[in-house]
Amino acid sequence: MKNFILFFVFLLTTSISFAQETPKPNYRAAAKYSPKNLAKMVHSTSVNPHWLKKGNRFWYAYKTSEGSNHYIVDLDKKTKKLLFDNVKMAKWLTEITKDPYDAKHLPRFSFKFNKAENAIRFRVTSTEEVEVVDEKKEDKKEEKKDSISTKKDKKTKPKKPKMEKKVYHLEYKLGGNGLTIIDTKKKEKEPWKKWANIAPDSSIVLYGKNHNIYWMDKINFKKFIKDEKDTTVVENQWTKDGEENYGYTWGGRGQDNVDKEKKKDDRKGVWGTWSHDSKKFVFQKSDSRHIKDLWVINSTGKKRPTLETYKYHMPGEQEYYKSELLIFDIPTKTHIKVPLDTVRQQSISVYRAPRKQSDRDDDFKPTLLLSKKGKVYFSVISRDRKKLDINVADINTGEYKTLIEERFNTYIESRPLVLFNNETEMLHWAERDGWAHFYLYDANGKLKNQVTEGDYHVANFEGLNEKTRTLYFSANGVNKEQDPYYAHSYSINLNGTGLKTLNPGDFTARTSMSDSNQYFVSNFSRVNTVPKSEVRDANGRKVMDLETADLSQLFASGYKFPEPFKVKADDGITDIYGVMYKPFDMDSTKVYPLLEYVYPGPQTEAVNKSFSYRMDRVDRMAQVGFIVITLGNRGGHPDRSKWYHNYGYGNLRDYGLADKKYAAQQLANKHKFIDIEKVGIYGHSGGGFMSTAAMLVYPDFFKAAVSSAGNHDNNVYNSWWSETHHGVKEEIDAKGKVSYKYKIDNNQSLAKNLKGHLMLIHGDMDNNVNPAGTIRMANELIKANKRFKFMVMPGQRHGFGSMTEYSFWLRADHFSKYLLGEENTSADFMFMNLDKPLKR
């Protein structure tokens, strides 16, 4: 008996010694990779080209651990040069401002090239203080000087002058040997930019007051800019039928009712689209008077809590925005209405001329119509998003005709129309064969041919060489050997022949093509490679390497790349792609809880494809002591087939959950360091909705969740998202009356299923996903006698703003307690305070 007991003890102790342990939470490692600390370790990771108007040239800034450099690239000459020498620039700035500058610590410049594009202009602020000079007041003093008499026997006490830091407006001629001082005036504030809509030829300015359109001519607008209080400025009222929620002005969203009342008589923007000759102005007017109100309360901003009221259309409500399309004639100050059926529930979108890359840095960028020939191209989509018409209207009469019709049983998506060849041809993007492709039409709406074709997704138009009839575009899934989400640039002839990859490689790329369509900048990487940038020509030949990101400090900190993976969806057939993030100090003797970071889309998926140092939600969470994964699901990203994207249509709560669960099980079978008995899930917005749903649909699998800003009840979320991606049914009765039926499953109906540990977080000023959805979820959990955590973020909108870091540590605490078995009870988030100097 004694020997048996000893043998039993031996077996017990042996099994214990071989049991793998859960790691302890490592908050210090997570703190190391806070956004503030990462900003010190990672700098530029891509080239952001500022294309110039003359030649195939661009400039860009690039920052490494050695400081920032500025370059100018001339692709016609195949050269890349420093825009200026940092050492010399520091010397010149020091000599002029009398402040010390260093080559590695130059100020952050905001450049403007002159018209000749042979010099740059910029401002720097010195530490020297000078007396504030108000030129407008000085001018008035001069005007009144002779008419004002003063009493000599009265002595006036001189006022202490108001001081400000001196500003230098400087010019550097490229290749020069010094800086020229243009003036010492600071850049004037331009508050009028918030409301002034200036015609392309600057002849007239449109704006709004009291819901109506007003206008000034060029002379009076110049007078107004010089002196806003000039009583001789002539303002002209154009319309008189505008009223609240059925007017011509834009603005006010995000203001509480107190501010809205204070600013009701202020000038506001009138935003529309100009004809190229400045003689017409196209405006979309919306009637939302009948749309019901929604509210949030600002409890922290003012002495008294204030109410914010805004129009908000919810899914299934019979009322809908009534849209009108108006064409204003500038010379005659009259307008006409495009004769659309305003009874039908539909949305209108006017096609606009694409902006040139070289216009990016222009101060004046008017919004122009797509056509230069007196035509207004616009689309109309039905409320259920199943019927899309592309139309063209005569700009003088408003009469229109339909050129292209799209019909589908799920929602229709679209891209901007491309008009070319002297406006005799059009390129139209559509998913009519189950994949996104371009179709070539003539100006009358007759299909000439399908340009791109195959089982791949055309993402975006990038350029068009009309002379060679070559289309440039980005696409996903062309190379079947690669991750289908990897984007590349391609060229193809408009007759559908000659498809060519322009930036091949096992990576995903983001490109910027020159206005000439001769060259493009390509920024490329994977999640597990160092980002690089290069220039290629229109034939795909590499012209030059630009940059390789400096990640030396990041790697020195102990950083390790995450790992891409591929598993099967719950159907056992569909490939699902994801990324796994591990603790950098991973211990092979331990098993780690698994966390899934989710965002179901369907408009996107929360899966990085290129390297990103914005790791707050994944890499950083892993350092606490978890394996963190992000992965797609059927019904997710549109970069795959229409079938994949629309899989969740009609089932917007549960459609992705089975894939998330099955993927976790597959990874646990493959990797012994994953503890499949400790699976957590978290997400924001749609991810907040999905993470809570996962806890309630699979309560024995998902053990803990943190759901922030979730739209748990899509009956109180905006109609565009819900009715588009879930669907709304249009019904017509025997009398021809149209009604809309909407039914969707919500999270709170499953509150009784909760078994694990759930935390809900929401901003009380969220005017996107109203707090009502989370409050309803909490209400049903309480009714079901469930324990859960609920945190309100005071004064925060949808993204949590300044409380984002706080929400990270809330999440870390929650998963630490319930998955790692260690609870933090200190009142202070110690690791939030490490970077903050104590103020005495």
Q: Quick: pLDDT tens for 312-341.
A: 999 999 999 999 999 999 999 999 999 999
How is residue 495 written in tokens? 């007759």
Given a contact cutoff of 8 angstroms between Cβ atoms, the answer to whether 809 and 31 are in contact is no
- For residue 147, pLDDT over 80 is answered with no
pLDDT tier for residue 11 given thresholds of 50, 70 and 90: very low
Q: Mind spelling out the 3-state secondary structure of 296-361?
A: EEECCCCCCCEEEEEECCCCCCCCCCEEEEEEEECCCCEEEECCCCCCCCEEEEECECCCCHHHCC
- For residue 84, pLDDT over 60 is answered with yes
How confident is the model at residue 143, as a pLDDT? 53
Burial of 386 (0-12, 13-18, 19+ CB in 10 A): middle
- For residue 154, pLDDT over 70 is answered with no
Place of tokens 């659309």: 340
802-810: list long-range contacts, CB under 8 Å, 24+ apart: 803/763, 804/616, 805/34, 805/35, 805/832, 806/832, 807/708, 807/761, 808/616, 808/620, 808/621, 810/706, 810/759, 810/761
Given a contact cutoff of 8 angstroms between Cβ atoms, the answer to whether 609 and 403 are in contact is no
CA distance 320 to 390: 21
How confident is the model at residue 809, as a pLDDT? 96
Cis geometry, peptide bond prior to residue 699 (ω within 30 degrees of 0): no
Given a contact cutoff of 8 angstroms between Cβ atoms, the answer to whether 624 and 816 are in contact is yes
How is residue 565 written in tokens? 């993976």
DSSP-assigned beta bridge partners for residue 335: 328
- For residue 14, pLDDT over 50 is answered with no
pLDDT tier for residue 301 given thresholds of 50, 70 and 90: confident
Q: What is the DSSP string of 22-46?
A: PPPP-HHHHHHT-HHHHHHH----S
- For residue 181, pLDDT over 80 is answered with yes
Q: What is the side-by-side strand order in the sheet with 236-237?
A: 197-198, 204-209, 212-217, 236-237
Give whichever of 692-696, 822-826, 832-836 has the largest mean pLDDT.
Answer: 692-696
pLDDT (tens digit per residue) in 572-612: 999 999 999 999 999 999 999 999 999 988 888 989 999 99
SS3 label, residue 13: helix
Given a contact cutoff of 8 angstroms between Cβ atoms, the answer to whether 707 and 691 are in contact is yes
- For residue 138, pLDDT over 60 is answered with no
Q: What is the side-by-side strand order in the sheet with 79-82?
A: 50-51, 57-64, 67-74, 79-82
How confident is the model at residue 834, as a pLDDT? 76
pLDDT (tens digit per residue) in 452-506: 999 999 999 999 999 999 999 999 999 999 999 999 999 999 999 999 999 999 9
SS3 label, residue 807: helix
How is residue 574 written in tokens? 């569909």
- For residue 244, pLDDT over 60 is answered with yes
Domain ranges (residues) in the chain:
27-41+554-712+747-833, 50-130+162-183, 448-548
- For residue 148, pLDDT over 60 is answered with no
Containing 96, the helix (H) or strand (E) segment is helix 86-97
Identify the DSSP state of 88: H
Mean pLDDT of 204-214: 97
Q: What is the CA radius of gyration of the chain?
A: 31
CA distance 760 to 776: 11
Angular region, 147: left φ>0, alpha ψ -120 to 50, beta rest: alpha
pLDDT (tens digit per residue) in 363-376: 999 999 999 999 99
Taking the domain 27-41+554-712+747-833, which CATH number applies?
3.40.50.1820
SS3 label, residue 553: helix
Mean pLDDT of 175-185: 95
DSSP-assigned beta bridge partners for residue 704: 680, 757
DSSP-assigned beta bridge partners for residue 58: 51, 73
Mean pLDDT of 559-582: 97
Alpha-carbon distances of 813 from 30, 756, 822, 827, 829, rounded to whole Å: 12, 15, 9, 12, 10
Identify the DSSP state of 677: E
Containing 10, the helix (H) or strand (E) segment is helix 2-18
Angular region, 837: left φ>0, alpha ψ -120 to 50, beta rest: beta
pLDDT (tens digit per residue) in 22-41: 999 999 999 999 999 999 99
Phi/psi of residue 219, nearest 5 degrees: -65, -45
Identify the DSSP state of 130: E
- Name the least confident of 127-136, 345-354, 470-479, 782-791: 127-136
pLDDT (tens digit per residue) in 371-396: 999 999 999 999 999 999 999 999 99
- For residue 140, pLDDT over 80 is answered with no
**pTM passes above 0.85:** yes
pLDDT tier for residue 252 given thresholds of 50, 70 and 90: confident
Q: Which residues of 241-253 are buried (b: 16+ CB within 10 A; e: fewer)?
A: ebeeebbbbebee
Phi/psi of residue 535, nearest 5 degrees: -120, 135
CB neighbour list of residue 547: distance below 8 Å, 6 or more residues apart: 44, 47, 62, 532, 533
Higher pLDDT pick, 301 / 561: 561
pLDDT (tens digit per residue) in 798-820: 999 999 999 999 999 999 999 99
pLDDT tier for residue 10 given thresholds of 50, 70 and 90: very low
CA distance 38 to 805: 13
CA distance 385 to 380: 10
Picking from 211, 123, 104, 131, the residue whose alpha carbon sits closest to that of residue 171 is 123
Alpha carbon 645 to chain centroid distance?
A: 20
Mean pLDDT of 811-836: 90
SS3 label, residue 4: helix
Please provide the size of the chain in residues: 840
How confident is the model at residue 227, as a pLDDT? 93
CA geometry: angle 530, 532, 534, nearest 5 deg: 170
Q: Is the dihedral of CA 54, 56, 61, 65 positive or negative?
A: negative
Identify the DSSP state of 592: E
Mean pLDDT of 697-713: 98
Identify the DSSP state of 368: B
Mean pLDDT of 614-637: 93
The CB density around residue 174, as the number of other CB atoms within 10 Å, is: 15
Mean model confidence pLDDT for the chain:
93
360-368: list long-range contacts, CB under 8 Å, 24+ apart: 360/50, 360/51, 361/50, 361/111, 361/112, 361/113, 364/198, 366/198, 366/199, 366/200, 366/274, 367/271, 367/272, 367/273, 367/274, 368/200, 368/273, 368/274, 368/275, 368/276
CA contacts within 13 A on the Cβ side of 482: 20
How is residue 385 written in tokens? 């998003």
Phi/psi of residue 488, nearest 5 degrees: -135, 165
pLDDT tier for residue 17 given thresholds of 50, 70 and 90: very low
How confident is the model at residue 250, as a pLDDT? 83
pLDDT (tens digit per residue) in 630-654: 999 999 999 999 999 999 999 989 9
Alpha carbon 652 to chain centroid distance?
A: 23
Given a contact cutoff of 8 angstroms between Cβ atoms, the answer to whether 621 and 595 are in contact is yes
CA distance 24 to 624: 8
CA distance 662 to 326: 53
- For residue 740, pLDDT over 90 is answered with yes
User: With pLDDT > 70 as the criterion, what percentage of the chain qualifies?
Assistant: 94
Mean pLDDT of 764-768: 97
